[in-house]
Each structure stands twice: as C-alpha cells, then as structure tokens.
Amino acid sequence: MPRHGKPQQRQPLLLPDAAPAGDRGGDGGGGAMRRRRFVAFLAISVALVASYHHLAPAPASRYHALFLSLGSNDTAAAHLRALTTRPHVAGTEANAVAAEYVRGVLSSSSFPTRVTPYSVLLSYPIHRSLSLSLPGHAAAFNFALVQDTYPGDPYVEASAEVIPTYFAYSGSGSIAAEVVYANYGNTKDYAYLASRGVDVAGKVALVRYGNLHCEDMVRNARAAGAAAAIVYTDAKDFGGTGAKGKRKWFPDERWLPPTGVQVGTLYYGNGDPTTTPLWPSCAAGEDCERLSKEELDGSAAMPGIPALPVSARDGETILKAMGGDAAPTEWQGGEGAPMYRLGPGPAVLNLTYIGNETLATIENVFAVIEGKEEPDRYVIIGNHRDAWTFGAVDPNSGTAAMLEIAERLYKLEKKGWRPRRTIIMCSWDAEEFALIGSTEWVEDNMDMLSSRAIAYLNVDISVFGPGGFSPRSTPQLDQLIKEASQMVRDPDDPSQTLYDTMIRHHPPIARVAGAGTDFAAFLQYIGVPSLDMSYGIISAAAISLASANIIVLAVEDYPVYHSLYDDYVWMERFGDPLFHRHVALASVWGLIALRLADDEILPFNYDSYASELEKCTKVVEGGCPGCPVSFAPLHKSINQLRKAANKIHKEKMMLQADNWRLKTRDYTVKVRDINDRLMMAERAFINREGLDGRPWYKHMIYASSDQDDWGTKAFPGIVSAIDKANKLNTAESWQLLQHEIYRAARAVSKASAVLDGRLT
C-alpha cells in the first residue's frame, strides 16, 4: 500500500508467448521474435519489481528509527503536570478524573479505548490517634500525625485532599503498651531482641523503614507477639547527610522533611482481598463470589494488629522517651540523633486506629492498536495510575512516559505504520493497595492471555533522578534490552548510550520477580515474559542488593516515596528538570515494544535463560553445603534447556537465511511455529499447585521471598525449603527440599520440551 494517496492497481504479470509447436530453436524469424519478447518481458518484470518496492510499506526498522526521533520533553512534562494537580488515591473522584485524562489522551490518538471497572475492597482511615505517656508525667504528649506543607507550596490547597497518613487494611483497635525498638523489623532483628532477653509480646514494636516493605515489617511484628506496630522514617536513611542543625530537605533539597510520612498497604496478597486468590472480581452491581468479613478477618494475608506510619520527628520523640539497654551501633541513627535504646518502656504508647474497608469501583483504562498480520498476538505495555498522594514519581512518571509513547505511535500510524502484532496499552488502577487492577484483569482474562500474550512490559517509576538506566526482566529478554538500549542516547551523558551506562551496573540487568508492581500477575500467575525498568541513581546499597538477587529501591535514591512531597515540584527540581530522562526511558520502552510487535521472528534468546539458571543453581547450592539432597535433576534439566535454546536459535537463523521464500506457506507456518515455541516456553515454568503455602505464586523459577514480599528469589520453593530444613533438620524437611528440587527441575524440563517443539 502506498504511503500517500489511494492504493494503486498492480498490473498482471506478463509472460512470454509460448513457442509454436515444432519450433524449438534456430536463428530464424521465430527465434528473433521470441528473443525480443523475452527482452520485453525482462524489462517489464524489472519495472514491476521496482514499482513493487516503491509501493511497498517502509521496513519496520525505518519506523523504529522514526519513533526514536519523535520524543518530546514538553509532552512528557505536560502529561505529568496534568496527572499530578491533585492527590488521586484509588476509589476517589480525583482518580476517576485521572482515568478520564488518560483515556482522553489515548482516544485523541485515534486508538480504540475502553474502561474496565471492578468493584473491589479498598481501605481508608476513619480515626487515628497516637499519644506518648511517661511514668511520673501527668500529661501525655499527643502526636499531630500531619505532614507539613512549606512556604510557597503551589499545591497547598490540593494538599488538603491528601488522605491522612495510614496503612491500608491495618487492623482496627486501641492499644496502650510499652514500646520495644526493633530496628528494621526483620526476623534477624527480633531474634537479636530475644537473645538480649527483650520480650516483644504484648508491646508496641517501633521499627524504621529500610530494606523491607511495610507489610513484612508488620507481619514480623505480629509473629514476634507485638500487639501493635509503629513504622517511622529515620532521618539517617531519608533525611540526608550533614550535622543535624545544617540538614536541608525538600523543597531546598531532595530529602524527606522531618514531618514526612511514607504510607502503604499491609495486605499480604495480590488482587481484591474479597476474591483473591484464584478468581476475579466483577463490576459493581454484578454477582461474583466473595469472601465473608469473618473469612477476611481470619486470613493470614491480613495484618491482624493495628499499625501506623509516622514521621522521623515523631519516631525520634518516641526513641528519646525509651529506656533499656543501648541498641547496637548498626541500629543507631545518624549524626545528631539521640541514643537509641531497646526498651521495653518506660515510654507507653496509646494507639487507636479505626479503618473503613469498603467496596469501591476502580477503573483500568486500555488502548488497543490492532496488529495487521497477527492480531491474535499481544504485546502489552502497562503502568499504574493511582497514587497515595500526588504521585509525580510513583507512578505518574511512568504514566507520562506511556502517554508520550502513545503520541509517538499515533504519528507513526499517520506515516503508514501498522504493527504486525497487537499492542495493548494499560493504565492500571489500585496498584498501591495490592496490585489490584492488573491482578483482577489477568485473572479475568487468564485463558486468552495464556495463549496470546507475547510479553508484558511494565514501567512503574520511569524516573527518580540522574544516574542511569536500570532494567530487570526475565532472561530471554536480555539481548533485546541490550540491543534497544544501544539505540538510545543517555540523557545525562549524550556521548554514551543507555547500554553504556547500564553495563556499569552489577548486574547490568536484574531479575524481575518480587511482588512490587504490576508484572506480578503476568509473570508469577500465568507465566508471561516480563520486564520492568526505570531511570535514576544507582546507589552502592542498591547495587549490593541487586548482586544478591534482591531488588529494593534504596531509600537515598527516592526519599519522598509515598509521601506528601512526591509532587511535580520535586520532579522538576530533583527528578528530571528537563524531562529528557522521561523521553529516554520512553524511547527504550517503546522500542522494545516495537521490536516485539514488528519483528517477524520474536527476538527472544533462551540461551540467556539457561546461563542465568546455571548461576542461580550455584548460589542455591552454596546456601546448602553438605545437605543430604541431590541437585543433579536440576543440573540435568538446565542442560536440556541449553540444548533446546541452541536448537531453536539455529532454526531461527536458517529460516532468516531463507527469507527469499517469504511468501510461501511453508515459511509462514514455520515462522508461526517458532514464535509459538518462543512465546510459550515461559508458561512451562508455571506449576498449577503453586509454591508451598502460597498457591497464587505459580512460577517455579522467579517469585518473591516468603520472608520479603519485595525481594527477588530464584528457585523460591527450593530457597524456602532450605531455610526450613536448616531450622528443623528432620528427615521430613530434607525430603521436602528434595521434592522442591524435583519440582523446579520438572518445570525447566517442560520449558525445554516446549522450545524443542517435541512430545514425549
């Protein structure tokens, strides 16, 4: 089809006249005539071929290069400003306005759009109070529990709409008890308290934000016997450096102000708590099966105890009132902080929290660009829209980047581009509560997605500062990420590409597995290849965690996380003043989507997967020296995967070398066969029974740790079984570990069989 004007009619192919019977050679007049006709035929053929190439659509690579040239800093900035004028928690009118903005931008690009609503259980605060009492003091100190605005704050009026600081799904109740300081609130911290004779039972556990997410902190406090939990933001981690009197914070610096509070969710699950796990929710007014309130209250996924987040200033006030032994050096605060003591008491905290858990409507927004040759194959890109406050970094830097991609794709369409496969753009709702929007949609469309989804490409936070490109993915996408990042200049150093800055990280590409954002349902529930990416500072702490296969956004990277101060001003001053980082991230994100949508043969490389699993197996074995089990089944299955990966790679290379047969049916069938095997191999890592004790998590290779909902663990079932066996040291526990090794090995062998295209 021509790029301009109406389609032109192709002329029928002219063949030379057949020679008369009996006249098969010679130099007579008949032969000369045949030669003249043949020469004329060649000339017409050459002209037709030239005409065909002139009229044929431009190759995909040309459109991909054009896509990279269409980025707009101003467009990204305008979208972010529009999305962050008001705080927009899921289930509120302001978030419905944000949903309509996203739908309007997508529909203005002439893409078919739709909104899919679900009625789900959300949690809001009704009443919060916290006071501190000391023996011998008649009056208690009442905490304000308010995040202060600052002089000249352009969002001071909108700040009145910010939801009061709280933890979603916190247990309701009133507790008056002494305080125990438990550092970052992990299981090792509580073990240390027990070793020092500090009893947490019935007390209020005071913990500080760090390398665990809040739901894990509160779960650990409950497991230790605490009656309630207070989680505060320590100035050492979030408040910057320098002497106490000289420290600066937002709006002067990027650090969290003393009254800043990080809010979050305590639900230890994914999706609507009334319908998850294993079946989807429905729209308001429709009938769907739900758990009862009694079933919810008794669920291990609910925190079960009252909990409240507080500021650095409030946390320090509590610590000053505590007695007991001095905490270890590594538990202490920064320069100028008081001595931190373990307790218990003599300070007594009186905490009351009453929450309202109610069914509310959330809205997922979609745009669909239908594929021309393979409309039944989906490349899905997504980002959540809801935010605890203004959400300039989390998540709307990602939303702005996705809308900027949409506008570029619209311009490509006007130039004649159509994707080979269907591209679906998704704006998820209620991610902050429990990945609800994406999880319900995946559960709702599981069968279609299981057979048709090529990959899910997620960006939650697209930009949180300078520093570099940080992708994480399932391993078959590694090579594609490298190739795409080589095509995009680094916005902070145009002499380098994103690839150049990425390979300075250790590792350059981390693994996507923890339950931190919306890829979870795609990867861990139905086995769709997935990635997530961002642009920002890579601290030494983050690199250390990444090298241990644990992905945690270090607090110094983005200190205003989930607080009042995550607004457009913070992004404009500290995150991305020129908005060129947004554009660069959108460029590599969109280019990866285009390659997956347009490449005739999917750019997946499973040799990377085999290499990664070999490394992970060594790590797992290293955590179990002398264990009375055999890892031989796992090694054998990984060797099978490598052989299958090499085989399909050779098939791909041979097929591409024979591309002169492009229009033959055999070629088309073979391309489809290879692509199906490449697409479906990840599904083979799914086990219908799921992980032990966590049936929703079905991926045998990558999932969150059962001790850390955000931590990434390879072979999570094996890692959990090793931990139990080392503690119990019983024949049954070692037998369970061997069983988990076999389960992982079977999953890898299944993936090998899919790649190989064979039946047993």
| Amino acid in position 548 | A
Give the residue range(s) of CATH 1.20.930.40 domains in the chain: 606-756
Q: How do residues 56-65 score in pLDDT, each as one tens digit?
A: 445 788 999 9
Residue 659: predicted pLDDT = 62
What would the pLDDT profile of 246-261 be if each residue is shown by its tens digit?
A: 789 999 999 999 999 9
The CATH class for the domain spanning 606-756 reads: mainly alpha
pLDDT attached to residue 31: 53
How many Å apart are CA 70 and CA 407, to the nearest integer? Answer: 9
Q: What is the DSSP letter of 228?
A: E
**Per-residue pLDDT at 211:** 75
Residue with tokens 């959300």: 122
- The residue among 524, 490, 470 whose CA lies nearest residue 271 is 524
The torsion angle over the Cα atoms of residues 501, 506, 509 and 510, rounded to 10 degrees, is -140
User: Distance between CA atoms of 78 and 712, rounded to whole angstroms?
Assistant: 35
- Residue 686 CA from chain centroid, whole number: 19
Query: 3-state class of 463 per DSSP?
Result: strand
Q: Find all residues with CB under 8 Å of 729, minimum gap 6, and list them.
A: none
Amino acid (one-letter) located at 177 = A
Of the options 3.40.50.300, 3.90.1640.30, 3.40.630.10, 3.40.50.1980, the CATH number for the domain spanning 60-121+374-598: 3.40.630.10
Rounded Cα distance, 227 and 200, in Å: 9
**pLDDT by residue (tens digit) across 545-580?**
333 333 344 445 789 999 999 999 999 999 999 999
User: Which of these is catalytic: 316, 357, 431, 740?
Assistant: 431
621 labelled catalytic: no
**Residue 39 to residue 35: CA distance in whole angstroms:** 6
DSSP 587-622: HHHHHHHHHHHH-SS----THHHHHHHHHHHHHHHH
CA torsion, points 325, 330, 336, 340, in degrees to nearest 10? -20
Residues 8 and 2 sit within 8 Å (Cβ to Cβ): yes
> Which of 265 and 21 is assigned the larger pLDDT?
265
Residue 569 in tokens: 């001003």
Q: Assign 754 a pLDDT band (cuts: 50, 70, 90).
A: very high
Reported confidence tier of residue 55, pLDDT bands at 50, 70, 90? very low
CA dihedral 510→514→517→518, nearest 10 degrees, is: 90
Residue 506 has pLDDT above 70, yes or no: yes
- Kindly tell me if the per-residue pLDDT of 343 is higher than 50: yes
C-alpha to C-alpha distances, 714 to 97, 488, 514, 641, 726, nearest whole angstrom = 40, 30, 10, 16, 18
Residue 532, classed as helix, strand or coil, is strand
Average pLDDT estimate for 85-106: 98
The predicted pLDDT at position 19 comes to: 35
Number of helices followed by number of strands (H, E) in the chain: 24, 19
Average pLDDT, the chain: 89
- Hey, what amino acid is at 24? R
Rounded distance, CA 114 to CA 99, Å?
A: 11
Q: Are strands 469-473 and 702-705 parallel, antiparallel or unpaired?
A: unpaired
Cα-trace Rg, the chain: 29
pLDDT of residue 336: 87
Q: What percent of the chain has pLDDT over 90?
A: 77
Q: Where in the chain is the domain with CATH 3.40.630.10?
A: 60-121+374-598
Handedness of CA 385, 391, 397, 403 (dihedral sign): positive
Compute the CA torsion angle 64, 65, 67, 72 (nearest 10 deg): 160
Distance CA 102, CA 86 (A): 15
pLDDT tens per residue, range 660-716: 555 678 888 999 999 999 999 999 999 999 999 889 999 999 987 775 544 557 899
> Range with the lowest mean pLDDT among 16-25, 176-185, 293-302, 321-330?
16-25
Rounded Cα distance between 517 and 525, Å, is 13
pLDDT of residue 674: 97
Residue 280 has pLDDT above 80, yes or no: yes
Buried b / exposed e along 26-45 (16+ C-beta atoms within 10 A): eeeeeeeebeeeeeeeeeee
With a CB cutoff of 8 Å and minimum separation 6, the contacts of 728 are none
